[in-house]
Structure 1
Amino acid sequence: MNRILYRLGRSTAAHPWRTISAWIAAVVVAFVAAGAFGGTFHDDYDVEGARAQVGVEQLRAHVPDGGGATAQVVVHDRGGDTLDATQLTALVERLRGIDHVSYVYPPRISADGDTALVAMEYDVPTTDEDLVGAQGYDPLEDAVAPVRDAGLQAELGGELPSQTESTMKGTGELAGVIAALVILIVAFGSVVAAGLPLAVALMGLGVGTAGVTLLAGAMDVSTAAPTVATMVGLGVGIDYALLLVTRHVEFLGQGLPEQEAAGRAMATAGRSVVFASVTVLISLLGLKLGGLPVYATFGYATAIAVVSVLAAALTLVPALCGLAGNRLLPRRTRKGRIRAEKTPLTARWARRVVRRPVAAALAALVFLLLLAAPVLGMRTWPQDGSSAGPETSQRQAYDLIEAEYGAGANGPFTIVVDTAQADPAAVAATVAAEPDIVGVTDPVTTPGGAISVFIAEPAYGPTDERIDGLVAAIRADVPEGVEVTGQTPFFSDIVDLLDARLWLVVSFVVGVSVLLLAMMFRSVVVPVKAAVMNLLSIAASYGVLVVIFQWGWGGSALGVDHAVPVSSWIPILNFAILFGLSMDYEVFLLSRIREDWLRTGDARGSVERGLAATGRVISSAAAIMVVVFLGFSTEADTVVKQLGFGMAIAIVLDATVVRMVLVPATMALLGRWNWWLPAWLDRRLPSIEAERHESDELWAELDATESEAVGR
């Protein structure tokens, strides 16, 4: 790999326009192919293993056009006057005329007569292409427009409207990109050098985005998958390019020609980038073990983005560096105004930590544990109308329903009775007798007589912590052949499923990553220690999410006006992504420390020098990642907010507390034991080397080999 990367760096730097032209052609071809063969994004909400799925399948099998999407229309007179029955009848008729609407229930009038709730069902699921996005939402808007024109409030809630109103706006991401550019200018002192990583990441992300669209043409890809792929791809793309450009500028500063600097940067930093990306891809593979189809598509889509930006970094960076020449150097360096070198701040900091490693390690550990403590009380729940922004129609519909009909009207249970095994009337009486059920409808038997269906309304809303217990209690009380389904019981089942699957994902990702690091750094201690530290920083970020969102401390700053549970999607998704990203920084830092250790044998000194060599680039990379993720946390969708904010907090902790305190402190305490590897394991463990110091003789050998290859 060393020779391949060296040759790749030299050749692309020697012929930059060939590489640039090839990438422009690749982007054009990718987008043309995506337009011709790509698909549309939609979710697959069928969850194998969820108890509520059984009831859904029964409805689909026995109820004509049953088991499809649902929606709600809430009409309210702000003045408190009684609603006009004629207007409601006309509204119902317009709703019945919408494509794929299979049934519209009679309006449910509130006790004071100023509000009406109209529930409706579709004959296809929300994932159907006829209902995705504006195709499903606009007909509802057209149907309620006359009601609004009459001066009444009409809001759309339920399953279908919630998907459309949570679409991405993109303004936060643009602000994140601009902030990243500012950080790069400060880090490099050169506009050319600052713009290069950003341009490379965007070029690679363009191909990756087209690749994700092509993937959607071959399989179901979640509507949220492109968002996750963009978030991670943009962050790692800038990071990878930043590391390569930094190493290239370092070699330029030593007086090397552009082509030689590009080759050496690729043979050193390029190797670290390759293996860092491998750790990210391994973590993404773990998402498939999450148990939900949506997780698998997150993993596939994000992997496509990571591979695309990696390819761009390995080819476009040396090409653009060769084209830019010495303009990558700071202006004062190009003009010969060389300042006296000062000891880097990170080196001075590392020296202080190394002198008092026990105190530093304990302080960092206690701090992370305190932040992680709220995780013990974390409650997860999928997103529903209560977690939407206060300005959205679905949230206003949710609040109106809760105020006029009770919190439970937002999350009724659907009870499906197999008439061959149980008496529907007896089952309805049993469910009605539950203390936390406020009412049930009369059972309705299907035309074939196979099943009977009725609705049970709980006394509290779907996000209430008592919901899980109520669902379990009803299932325990009803006889065989009765299924409790509907969106709220389905969400309860998903929470239980994901809680069980989390540890499977954690075990896989941690185990494979530890093995890979052991192969790279020939150590048992380093990979185990890295895994523990990553788990600590991720747990601490979860604790912050609990405080901000579940406890509601400061959530208003992120546009969340009340306390909401942590989204059920977050623990597994954030873990898989963050563990890979944290390992990126671990590879970058430990590569330089090990390089110095192999050259000097100085355990403590190598920590100081390695941190000094990488501190600036890792800090800049982390800062860029943070601003990119915070950009996503400004989106209206609460899940995206939690995803972006949680990842930003984890990166901050990883780049400060872990990399600047725990790593130097623990490595100073362990000394030579950091690199301990049993002889028997050393013989059996394959060897993979990340970035290492290369001798002048080897550079000369590589240069000669490259010259011979060019001559042939």
Structure 2
Amino acid sequence: MASLLYRLGKFSFRHRWWFLSSWLVVLLAVGGAFAAFSAPTTNNFTIPGSESQRVLDDLREKNPDASGGSGTIVFESADGGEFTAAEREAISQTVADLGALDFLKSATDPFQSQQQLDGAAGQAEQGKAEIEASRAQLDAAKAQLDGAAAQLEASRQQSALAEYQAEQLEATGQTESANAIRAQLAQLDAAEEQLAQQRQAYDDGVAKLADGEKQLEQGQRLAEATSGLRFVSEDGSAAFTRLQFSESSHAVTPEQRQEVQDVGNEAADAGVNVSFSKEIVEDVSSLFGPSEVIGVAMAAVVLMLMLGTLVAAGLPLLMAIVGVGAGVGITMALTGVVEMSSISPMLALMLGLAVGIDYSLFIINRHRTQLLQGMDLEESAGRATGTSGNAVLFAGLTVVIALAALAVPGLPFLTVMGLAAAGTVAVAILVALTLTPAFLGFIGNRILSKRAWARAADADARALAAAAPGTAAKAGQEKSRRWGRLVTRHPVVMLVLSVLLLGTMAVPAMDLRVGLPDGGSEPVDSTAFQAYDTLGEKFGEGINGPVIVVGYLPEGLTETESTDLQLDVVDSLTAIEDVRTAVPASTSEDGTLVVFQVIPEEGPAAESTEELVHTIRADADEIKASTGVEVAITGQTGINIDVSDKLMEAMPVYLLIVVGLSLILLLLVFRSILVPLLATGGFLLSLAASFGAVVAVYQWGWLGNIFDVQNPAAVLSFLPIILIGVLFGLAMDYQMFLVSGMREAYVHGEDARTAVRTGFDHASRVVTAAAIIMVSVFAGFIFSHLTMVRPIGFALAIGVLLDAFVIRMTFIPAAMHLLGKSAWWIPAWLERILPDVDVEGAKLQAPEPPKQPQADGELAEAVR
């Protein structure tokens, strides 16, 4: 591979215009595809096949009105007092205008809804009084019926004698008297008929009273269930309206979200403070913000300090921009056919910038060193690509493989995320190996400063450069040598300090909880945070994240029977700990599917809410046994918890895959048993410490004022698995560049302990610069405009910082110096069967003898 890349480097150098033109065509094609096919990204995460997703699919089929996306608008009086009549009218009018938007299914008027809730108790009392009055009337009617029945019965007992008398009178010819008696008997029959009708009316009244009592009972139960639900705060200073979109959240366009905000802000004209929930204002259309630019600017400063010229410093940045432009552009173009979370292009952008700068820097640094040794420009470009470029290829492939392995958990959004980032890193590798040597041809000798060329003209400086490859600045090399000597002079102390530092930092990781961000994670000055905070303060934290429970009712129920079952389920749900309110929200047309809204005591990311979801699922069989209704959970809160649980279940498997891959790759590269074990152990230490730092800042709130964490909560659910994959790949990058130099020196005959120092001196300066650049780029995302990106930027920045400086530049050289020759031990049989990957390109022919400048005029011409 080294020979092939050597030829590729020389070919790119000679045909630089062709490569430049080709990459310009690629960028234009990608830009066209992006403009034609890109679509909005989303922050909704689902798990196909999970309970929450299955229930959501049922909901969309049977009750589509309840399956669209939703959002909340919060209104608050400007002075904190009760709403005035004008403010109430302005809010109601705003809600009416919102309801007229064709992409909204509904917008509830908070004052009408609250009036209905408040009137429920009064209606129940009125209904109770009416029931009592009806019961009294029925009791009186019954008494009258009983009296009339008794009289009628007495008369009926005498009717047989009267009939006999009538017959006797007819027999004696007294027909008139007989007819009079028979007329009295007919009146008795009519009275019986009238009594039967009165008795039927009484029975109807009893049945109606029973229905009324049943309705009253159901009304009282419903009123009791909704007693903890409000749409207007108790002090009358705040209200909120729920918006129901016609489509799912990811299908709501930025223009529609903006229209909702424009209409919602009409109430502000009346002096009402209006704030919108995260679902309404979240904008994931922009990838780059001011903080990211600052991170790239910091990387540029590091490059300038290291390389000494604007031209040399600008080249790695240019290569990174080309790689990111192509990789992220392709990713965004695919959003038209693949549903993609906003974090996917952001992760691709983050990694593309970092590795794009570093990979080009490794090749450029090797090229500069070889030029100072007197090597020809074309030969140097080829050899830099064949040596450092070979290491870049191998190291980059580890990053690509680790990211592609994010498909292992089987979560579509995570698979897309990993493949998008892996694809962008692959493009960055291709740019580094093809376009970088081409630009080395364009730049020529200007890749080095005049001061560097002047130093090279001095024989002593040339000898120093030849003795210490990889260095163009004496001061920087001396610093790295001093650190390398300090580490190897006190290896036990350095090992103990490294382990103690990382072990201490890892302690908070034992309290790791994961979840997805909500409005409470937004910046405190954002409207999303203000809406979340106001709702929590005025209506209780749980209103920000209701748990959606779907009940499956038997078929063929009457309305009363259905209502009874719904209220039985409500009673079962309300009895569960940490449930504040549970109410039936909507029913499907066929009456077999009911949506219950469960308001927890705490917010959607709270540990108690997570436990509540698990408890409801655990009690589902018991609820079905007592009510006959099968219940299941869906909705954003339930789905978010499912995603977090699934990711935590998958993380150990993914970690084992990454650790196994690490051991195999390092065994191939370094042909040693202990070196891969040390490298992997160090990776696990830095990973645990990074987890601890993330928990301390984003879950515990330490240094929250510095990192703008005002409402600490659970850690972003997919951060741990992303951190494992990315940090593994980057850690292996630095491991290869540092330790491969140690191996090369050892193989070429140096003592094992001396080789540790030689290899460290060979690569420490460029690795230091590369690590600082990566940390700078990642740190630029800590204050990203996308809240979900912030903890990822922090985790990657602290992870690279710890792994590069504590593990690779302290722990590893100290351990290897202690181990000495045994660090390179490998069984003979295993060495025979292992392929020789030659990462550093050691098999390339030795460099040509340095060319001595013939005259000062020749050196000056070279500089020009």
The TM-score, its normalising length taken from structure 1, stands at 0.93
Structure 1 segment 401-412 matched on structure 2, within 5 A? 401-412=535-546
- Give the Cα–Cα distance (whole angstroms) in 1 for the partners of residues 568 and 96 of structure 2: 35
Q: CA deviation at 1:255?
A: 0.4
Distance 1:33 1:48, change over 3 A: closer
Maintained 8 Å contact 2:45/2:640: no
1:136 counterpart = 2:136: no
Counterpart position of 1:374: 508
Maintained 8 Å contact 2:10/2:382: yes
Maintained 8 Å contact 2:359/2:392: yes
Counterpart position of 1:703: none
Counterpart position of 2:357: 238
Equivalenced residue count is: 696
Q: CA deviation at 1:183?
A: 0.8
Structure 1 segment 238-257 matched on structure 2, within 5 A? 238-257=357-376
Distance 1:562 1:472, change over 3 A: closer
1:103 counterpart = 2:133: no
- Give the Cα–Cα distance (whole angstroms) in 1 for the partners of residues 685 and 752 of structure 2: 25
Determine helix, strand or coil for the equivalent of 2:607.
coil
Instruction: Find 1:525's aligned residue among 663, 674, 683.
Output: 674
Structure 1 segment 132-531 matched on structure 2, within 5 A? 132=253, 134-157=254-277, 160-161=279-280, 163-164=282-283, 168-336=287-455, 338=458, 340=461, 341=464, 344-420=478-554, 423-442=565-584, 444-478=586-620, 479-480=623-624, 481-531=630-680
Q: CA deviation at 1:559?
A: 2.1
Q: CA deviation at 1:166?
A: 9.1
Q: CA deviation at 1:165?
A: 7.3
1:571 counterpart = 2:717: no
Maintained 8 Å contact 2:2/2:838: no
Distance 1:31 1:503, change over 3 A: same
Q: CA deviation at 1:686?
A: 3.4
- Give the Cα–Cα distance (whole angstroms) in 2 for the partners of residues 59 and 324 of structure 1: 62
Counterpart position of 2:78: 78
Q: CA deviation at 1:162?
A: 5.4
Amino acid in structure 2 at the alignment position of 1:548? V
- The farther-off stretch of 217-226 and 294-303 is 217-226
Structure 1 runs not aligned, ≥5 long = 701-712
Maintained 8 Å contact 2:583/2:598: yes
Amino acid in structure 2 at the alignment position of 1:429? D
Distance 1:166 1:50, change over 3 A: farther
Amino acid in structure 2 at the alignment position of 1:173? E
Amino acid in structure 2 at the alignment position of 1:515? I
Counterpart position of 1:706: none
- Give the Cα–Cα distance (whole angstroms) in 2 for the partners of residues 425 and 263 of structure 1: 78
Distance 1:251 1:27, change over 3 A: same
Amino acid in structure 1 at the alignment position of 2:75? V
Maintained 8 Å contact 1:424/1:443: no
Structure 2 runs not aligned, ≥5 long = 111-230, 465-473, 556-561, 625-629, 850-864
Runs of 4+ that moved beyond 4 A: 37-40, 165-169, 336-343, 694-700
Determine helix, strand or coil for the equivalent of 1:689.
coil
Taking only aligned residues, the RMSD between alpha carbons, in angstroms, comes to: 2.2
Counterpart position of 1:587: 736
Counterpart position of 2:247: 124
Q: CA deviation at 1:37?
A: 4.2
- The farther-off stretch of 307-316 and 30-39 is 30-39
Q: CA deviation at 1:603?
A: 1.0
1:545 counterpart = 2:665: no
Distance 1:8 1:695, change over 3 A: closer
Q: CA deviation at 1:49?
A: 4.7
- Residue deviations 1:638-684, cap 9 Å, x none? 32111111111111111211122101111112222222222333344
- Give the Cα–Cα distance (whole angstroms) in 2 for the partners of residues 444 and 627 of structure 1: 51
Q: CA deviation at 1:184?
A: 0.8
Determine helix, strand or coil for the equivalent of 1:74.
strand
Q: CA deviation at 1:565?
A: 2.5
- The farther-off stretch of 293-302 and 18-27 is 18-27
Distance 1:631 1:698, change over 3 A: closer
Amino acid in structure 1 at the alignment position of 2:590? G
- Give the Cα–Cα distance (whole angstroms) in 2 for the partners of residues 219 and 699 of structure 1: 52
1:113 counterpart = 2:236: yes
Distance 1:518 1:218, change over 3 A: farther
Determine helix, strand or coil for the equivalent of 2:716.
coil
Q: CA deviation at 1:699?
A: 7.3
Maintained 8 Å contact 1:166/1:636: no
Determine helix, strand or coil for the equivalent of 2:514.
coil
Distance 1:3 1:419, change over 3 A: same
Determine helix, strand or coil for the equivalent of 2:748.
helix
- Give the Cα–Cα distance (whole angstroms) in 2 for the partners of residues 453 and 564 of structure 1: 28
Counterpart position of 2:183: none
The TM-score, its normalising length taken from structure 2, stands at 0.77
Identical amino acids, percent of aligned pairs: 35
- Give the Cα–Cα distance (whole angstroms) in 1 for the partners of residues 95 and 845 of structure 2: 81
1:689 counterpart = 2:831: no
Distance 1:648 1:539, change over 3 A: same
- Give the Cα–Cα distance (whole angstroms) in 1 for the partners of residues 839 and 337 of structure 2: 36
- Give the Cα–Cα distance (whole angstroms) in 2 for the partners of residues 561 and 165 of structure 1: 22
Determine helix, strand or coil for the equivalent of 1:376.
helix
Distance 1:39 1:549, change over 3 A: closer
- Residue deviations 1:133-155, cap 9 Å, x none? x2231121122121011110111
Maintained 8 Å contact 1:16/1:319: yes
Distance 1:591 1:215, change over 3 A: farther
Amino acid in structure 2 at the alignment position of 1:344? E
Counterpart position of 1:707: none
- The farther-off stretch of 250-259 and 684-693 is 684-693
- Give the Cα–Cα distance (whole angstroms) in 2 for the partners of residues 417 and 127 of structure 1: 26
Q: CA deviation at 1:65?
A: 3.3
Structure 1 segment 558-637 matched on structure 2, within 5 A? 558-637=707-786
- Residue deviations 1:299-358, cap 9 Å, x none? 121122111111111112111112222222232132356475466322232222223222
Maintained 8 Å contact 2:520/2:711: no
Maintained 8 Å contact 2:375/2:848: no
Maintained 8 Å contact 1:372/1:543: yes
- Give the Cα–Cα distance (whole angstroms) in 2 for the partners of residues 345 and 115 of structure 1: 62
Determine helix, strand or coil for the equivalent of 1:483.
strand
Amino acid in structure 2 at the alignment position of 1:326? N
In terms of fraction of residues, the more helix-rich structure is 2
Q: CA deviation at 1:32?
A: 2.1
Distance 1:351 1:64, change over 3 A: closer
Maintained 8 Å contact 1:283/1:580: yes
Maintained 8 Å contact 2:578/2:609: no
1:87 counterpart = 2:90: yes
- Residue deviations 1:493-527, cap 9 Å, x none? 22221111111211122212321221222222222
Maintained 8 Å contact 1:240/1:313: yes
Determine helix, strand or coil for the equivalent of 1:482.
strand
Amino acid in structure 2 at the alignment position of 1:367? L
1:62 counterpart = 2:196: no
- Give the Cα–Cα distance (whole angstroms) in 1 for the partners of residues 846 and 304 of structure 2: 35
- Give the Cα–Cα distance (whole angstroms) in 2 for the partners of residues 685 and 123 of structure 1: 60
